[in-house]
């Protein structure tokens, strides 16, 4: 699913104007379980698949409204044409974004044997 930059801006403005604060998924789960305090209205914003517009469009909009997001990256797509570069990923992390694994290759996991699924997860996390 994707939206135009103007729709994304409207969505982020709505969150800000209505008191929502974005957090990473781990923090959200801890808040919901009552294990930690957090903002009154936590929300998790996520992105998948290393699209360059996540850096060029989404990042400035997130920062404009004081929000953060979780970016799930396909590790063998890092640095290819039209995708996020290692430098951009490091910059995103330095600016408060959460960088997480979205496997090595983005293959359909339900079609893979368990050992290949384990490899997809373990090696992508190791790369990041």
pLDDT tens per residue across all 128 residues of the chain: 789 999 999 999 999 999 999 999 999 999 999 999 999 999 999 999 889 999 999 999 999 999 999 999 999 999 999 899 999 999 999 999 999 998 888 868 788 889 988 888 888 899 88
Measured CA distances, 25 to 5, 78, 85 (Å): 24, 22, 23
- The answer to whether the Cα torsion of 70, 75, 78, 80 is positive or negative is negative
Q: How many residues does the chain have?
A: 128
Place of tokens 């004081």: 66
Q: pLDDT value at position 98?
A: 97
Place of tokens 């396909």: 74
Q: pLDDT value at position 103?
A: 87
Q: pLDDT value at position 113?
A: 87
- The answer to whether the Cα torsion of 115, 110, 55, 23 is positive or negative is negative
């Amino acid at each position: 699913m994707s939206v135009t930059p103007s729709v994304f801006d409207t969505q982020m403005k709505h969150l800000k104007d209505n008191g929502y604060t974005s957090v990473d998924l781990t923090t959200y789960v801890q808040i919901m379980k009552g294990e930690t305090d957090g903002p009154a209205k936590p929300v998790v914003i996520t992105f998948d698949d290393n699209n360059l517009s996540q850096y060029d469009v989404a990042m400035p909009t997130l920062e404009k409204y004081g929000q953060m997001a979780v970016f799930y990256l396909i590790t063998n797509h890092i640095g290819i044409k039209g995708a996020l570069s290692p430098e951009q990923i490091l910059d995103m992390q330095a600016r408060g974004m959460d960088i997480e694994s979205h496997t090595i290759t983005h293959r359909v996991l339900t079609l893979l044997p368990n050992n290949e699924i384990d490899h997809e997860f373990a090696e992508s996390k190791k790369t990041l």
